[in-house]
Structure 1
Amino acid sequence: MESEKVPTLGPLALLKGTFISTGFNQIFRPKSKSSKTKFKNAITSKEIDDNIMQLNLTSEVLTFFDPLGEIPNRGFDGQPDTFLNGIPYTQQIKDATNVDTGKGDLPGERDGIHFETGIWLFVPASTDTPKQDAELVRMASIPHGTTISARGPAKPEETTAAPSFKRVDITPTAQGRQQKPSQDVGNASTSRLPQDLKKFVDAGTITDAILKNPNTVLQNANEGKDIKQTISFSVTSNVPLRDNLGRIDGDGDADITNIPFLRGPPLEVNVPEQGSMKFLKSSNALVTTVTATLWISTVASKITVPAFTADQQPILLKPVNAKEGAPTPVFRITPDRGLSAAKTVTVFSSQIQYSQNVVLRFRGIDWPHVSVATLVPKDPIDVPASALK
């Protein structure tokens, strides 16, 4: 190892192990003239037949692997070498939407709707070429044909309270916001999957408030929890655009690349005083911007430990206030002595929440694709013997 010590991970050091979750996914996807998507109810609203808004209640597995350690980047001339560190990860999201119950409890094998591999990097400050502060970088590869390099400040925000979530708007934009009929939860005859949301509204899983602000799902997940500390950080990535048609990937310092199918055919245009330039004539689902925020919280919970003897097998317990249907941390007691009477104790666990907005461009419109989730550790959390004294 060339550096004097293992390069820091900063707040990324909190990303350890495998987490599971329930969440919510919203996307406006392109609809071609030959689309085979069928709707149960005839579309009666007056809307342009160019998109389908798909809503999913999701289940997720997010795994963080061991840190990579020293990653040398070589400087030139006056810029010294720098040493990064990073954490590889995989993310797999499946559709749990159950139209019969209005909940995310779909039985049987679930269809995958997202798979992602990537690395979270801590990039130290550089002093010469370029001069910049330390950054967090998320490098992600998505099977649709998009790669992303999203960056943000390395210094996280910290609070001794629950997270505070800003509003995120799913309304498409093109010279102003353009509200779509599919954003009306009461409209069961629109270009949306599922069309009829009544059972979801009744169950509180997809409501008017959630469509107006998907971060409501995160807020709802924290109700009744005793959150002692929250650390948060954000990253963003975008393709620099010359005009409202978009820009060819790879130009300048583009942070996002899309395969040709997504970005569409180029159109060469002669621009006065600038000469010939290439723009995007049309696109199928060009990713233009990605923004994401992670909130990592420490949650205090109470568990009631039953009486046990020293020779018993480990005991697995959930918090006394665990919500039905939501992923909940499990705590493990390994008896090394007897406990004569039941005892309620306070235990702690990590929780990860995220909100991500991927903006897709087609038909000259920017269409939000918002995903949110609340994740808890997949494996049991060992409770130290000292907690039972």
Structure 2
Amino acid sequence: MSVETTVTPTSGSPPSVEVQGPTNSLTIADSFKIRQVDDITVARAREAPQVPIAPGPVIEPLPVNPLVEGSLGILSKFVGTFQGTGMNMIFRPNTSGSGLTDNILEFNLTTEKQTFLQDIGDVPNRGFAGQPDLNLKAVPYTQQISDRLNKDTGKADLPTPIPIHFEQGLFVRTPQTVNPDVPTGTISRMGSIPHGTTINAQGIEPTGPPVQGAPDFGTVSIIPFTIGNPDSQVTAFANLKFEPTQLRIPQDFTKFNESGALTQAIFQNPNEVLRIANTNSSKKQVKEHIRFELSTEGTNALPGGGTANIAFLQGPPGNPLPAPNAHGASMKVTYWISTVLVDVVIPEGHYAAHPTKKLLSSEASRVDKVSTPKFLVELKRNVSHNTTVKLSYTQIQYSQNVSLNFGGLTWPHISVATLQPGNAVFVKADSPLLANLK
């Protein structure tokens, strides 16, 4: 059937349009943008009919739900690529066997890269039951970790590092709200892990000024315990010694102990690796730091969070066989974001007439062979002699403990690392750090 339809223009609209064929008509306001969605659907704009409307009951407007604007907070420090070194330990499956004997306590000397992408902007969320609407802020990240443990040299110098971990996800900041009643905003890390577990860890964002000096990292235990009872360390593992064993990689720690890469102190407390990273050069100083903690275990003040596992890890409901296979039960991680000062020598030169940018290494790196970022220094004044200045960069350190449940026990899986900017840190000519140049 062919139907001829004429669209009559309103005042100021284009001339009438004739459309051949079956037609659906939409009556919408002139101010709206109109587009044809297919060859048989067109829009028809017309004046609203003048129909008298009887007065109805007065309806009170709903209260305005104020919008809480988001900000990155501490996540503003997570920019670009950070890289560095650390250590990882895990009771991983043996190549054969079953039950509690199917475990090898493996240590990895790691190299790591975390890349933080540009924040994705405002993420609007609806408030309800008294909570305001708010904007979350999110920073996407990827994490790549490789093992550089070289059993032949006793150092972290394996020519071709072995990939052992990849993770991607989001760091998210939630502004303070009235419900739940937390004293400030919150930070969440939502990540996906190849092991077969996804995590949603959250915590209270840090407030107040940075703490002066280097962090105190405390201790973390590698000893497994009965599920639900951290105080019940397993007798068979409670007295682990720094000695060769068939159920350990590397089996012989002699070379690593001599090089300082893996010592008895590190074996008993992996956080020792973080302390060493802050004290390995007299030409480097941790000026101040900020600490915050994230956990997948919810609390009354901060409910939610948790882990989710694939079926192979989770196991079936109840207690029938097969039992869970290394179920990722929880994760807790502490971050220390520090400002680090390092000595950098600015070479003499006449830079007033010919401003330049120099790529310079720190003295900690050049003399002590300690890994620090390079600095791209902008120079616009003459320097009469080589001058040592203290330049700064942001350092990220973390200690993470993933609890793996299987065989009636909770097995700690601990990772620590010290990360620094992967690209050169730019220092402007008018930076106060260059004020003493003459």
Q: How high is the TM-score relative to the length of structure 1?
A: 0.83
Does the 8 Å CA contact 1:93/1:112 hold for their aligned counterparts? yes
Which residue of 353, 358, 361 corresponds with 1:318? 361
Q: State yes or no: 1:20 paired with 2:83.
A: yes
Which residue of 258, 263, 266 corresponds with 2:314? 263
Matched position secondary structure for 2:364: coil
Q: State yes or no: 1:119 paired with 2:194.
A: no
Deviation per residue, 1:147-202 (Å, 9 max, x gap): 11111112347301111111101111015112556974542233011111111111
Does the 8 Å CA contact 2:113/2:144 hold for their aligned counterparts? yes
Does the 8 Å CA contact 1:67/1:86 hold for their aligned counterparts? yes
- Looking at structure 1, the residues matched to 220 and 193 of structure 2 have their Cα atoms a distance apart, in angstroms, of 23
Number of residue pairs matched by the alignment: 354
Structure 1 residues 9 and 335 mapped into 2: Cα distance closer, same or farther (>3 Å)? closer
- Counterpart of 1:30 in structure 2 is 93
- Looking at structure 1, the residues matched to 186 and 165 of structure 2 have their Cα atoms a distance apart, in angstroms, of 26
CA shift at 1:355, angstroms? 0.5
Query: Which has the bigger relative contact order, CA under 8 A and spacing at least 6?
Result: 1
Q: State yes or no: 1:8 paired with 2:71.
A: yes
Return the letter of the residue paired with 1:219: R
CA shift at 1:8, angstroms? 1.4
Does the 8 Å CA contact 2:80/2:116 hold for their aligned counterparts? yes
Return the letter of the residue paired with 2:251: Q
- Counterpart of 1:288 in structure 2 is 329
Matched position secondary structure for 1:126: coil
- Looking at structure 2, the residues matched to 376 and 254 of structure 1 have their Cα atoms a distance apart, in angstroms, of 28
- Looking at structure 1, the residues matched to 408 and 276 of structure 2 have their Cα atoms a distance apart, in angstroms, of 35
CA shift at 1:211, angstroms? 1.3
- Looking at structure 2, the residues matched to 64 and 368 of structure 1 have their Cα atoms a distance apart, in angstroms, of 27
- Counterpart of 2:206 in structure 1 is 155
Unaligned runs of 5+ in 1: 36-46, 241-251, 269-278
- Looking at structure 2, the residues matched to 255 and 212 of structure 1 have their Cα atoms a distance apart, in angstroms, of 28
Does the 8 Å CA contact 1:185/1:207 hold for their aligned counterparts? no
- Counterpart of 1:227 in structure 2 is 286
Matched position secondary structure for 1:219: helix
- Counterpart of 1:246 in structure 2 is none
Percent identity between the aligned chains?
41
Structure 1 residues 338 and 254 mapped into 2: Cα distance closer, same or farther (>3 Å)? closer
Structure 1 residues 340 and 100 mapped into 2: Cα distance closer, same or farther (>3 Å)? same
CA shift at 1:253, angstroms? 5.3
- Looking at structure 2, the residues matched to 280 and 380 of structure 1 have their Cα atoms a distance apart, in angstroms, of 54
Does the 8 Å CA contact 1:258/1:287 hold for their aligned counterparts? yes
- Counterpart of 1:373 in structure 2 is 417
Does the 8 Å CA contact 2:274/2:417 hold for their aligned counterparts? yes
CA shift at 1:145, angstroms? 1.3
Return the letter of the residue paired with 2:172: L
Structure 1 residues 344 and 325 mapped into 2: Cα distance closer, same or farther (>3 Å)? closer
Does the 8 Å CA contact 2:331/2:402 hold for their aligned counterparts? yes
- Looking at structure 1, the residues matched to 67 and 128 of structure 2 have their Cα atoms a distance apart, in angstroms, of 20
Which residue of 205, 211, 219 corresponds with 1:167? 219
Larger radius of gyration: 2
Which residue of 378, 389, 399 corresponds with 1:345? 389
Return the letter of the residue paired with 1:374: T
Which residue of 376, 400, 405 corresponds with 1:361? 405
Q: State yes or no: 1:75 paired with 2:127.
A: yes
Unaligned runs of 5+ in 2: 1-64
Q: State yes or no: 1:303 paired with 2:344.
A: yes
Deviation per residue, 1:85-136 (Å, 9 max, x gap): 12111111111111111111111x32211111111111122324x4444311
Matched position secondary structure for 2:275: helix
CA shift at 1:254, angstroms? 6.2
Q: State yes or no: 1:201 paired with 2:242.
A: no
